[in-house]
Amino acid sequence: MSDYAHRYTDKEIIRIERDLKKFYDEVNVDNMKQWTEYMDKMGKRVSNAYNDWQNAIKSKDLERIKEAKAEYQRLVKNMTLKDKRYKEMVRDIAKRNVNANKSANAFANERMFKIYAKNYNYQAQQIMKYNKQLKFQPIDEHIIKNMVANGNELLLPQRSLNVEKDMEWNVKYINNQMAKGIYLGESTEAITQRMANVANMNYVQAKRAVRTLATANENKAREQTAIEAEEKGTELYKYWIAHDDQLTREEHVQADVDYSRANAIPRAEPFIVGGEEMMYPADPHGSGWNVYNCRCTMGYVVKGFKKIKRGDRRVKWGKNKD
């Protein structure tokens, strides 16, 4: 059963995704307007070539069909992939998408502060139940934001964007969609619809990044609380909690078994998930296949507390019954 901080994270992810969808929809309106205007300028010449091909299909004359299709494809290719104005338009659209991704990236990183704070405070409360003398300073998103701004690297994972690679990907994806439409002999209207998929693909990638980033922040916050608790004399063991549905990776379901509460491991030891070492679910050090869209979380078991006698530097552990 999930805890309230994990449920908060899930709800916050939905809110972020909803806000991003509105944002990308607005960008897509501008993209489609520019694209449609360009395709309309291709005008009657392309329309006539497409109609000739369709009439050839109706005639069932194979040679005529072949020639008409080749002429339509040649015409569209020359007016798009080989045209200087087309290339400029593609770069305009790609640049707009990249700027959208940059803004979405900054927006998502900003929204992680609350998720981190909520899970840090939750884990602190859970640990303090076992030792009321143990104190943690509650934190909020403003404290986290200031610490990140001051370069505190031990805190939350943040997502960065390689602008050059993102620009290259967008240009390539747009041209691939155009080339595919030409190859299949699609109408200009159908090819235009393909362009709507470009903005949607950017949104899908942003949504995946948000889910992965949120899970990483949720669990990194819990780990940070545990690290601080250990520094204050608490012995902690951790366990993996997989999201309980059919979409969860087999490796993460297995981790839930291997590292159940009954099989919890010392806090400083890594989980071995799918053959990879991970300190927590969605650990950025894991491979993409092991962390993308991860919805798992983790919990801790308090095993005991350090007791240091006056004048005696030896550390003794008092064991917890749990």
Q: Which two tokens stand for residue 50?
A: 């497409």
| pTM reported for the whole predicted model | 0.85
pLDDT digits (tens, 9 = 90+) for 34-81: 999 988 888 788 889 999 999 999 999 999 999 999 999 998 899 889
Over residues 197-222, mean pLDDT: 92
Q: How confident is the model at residue 307 (pLDDT cuts 50, 70, 90)?
A: low
Q: So where are the chain's domains?
A: 4-232, 234-322
Q: CA-CA distance, 170 to 248, in Å (whole number)? A: 30
Local structure of residue 167 (DSSP, 8 states): H
Q: Going by C-beta distance under 8 Å and a sequence separation of 6 or more, which residues neighbour residue 269? A: none
- For the chain, the average pLDDT equals 89
Q: Which two tokens stand for residue 49?
A: 């070539």
Q: Which residues pair with 316 in a beta bridge?
A: 307
Cβ(248)–Cβ(295) under 8 Å? yes
pLDDT digits (tens, 9 = 90+) for 158-190: 778 899 999 999 999 999 999 998 888 888 888
H or E segment and range at residue 317: strand 316-319
Cβ(46)–Cβ(75) under 8 Å? yes
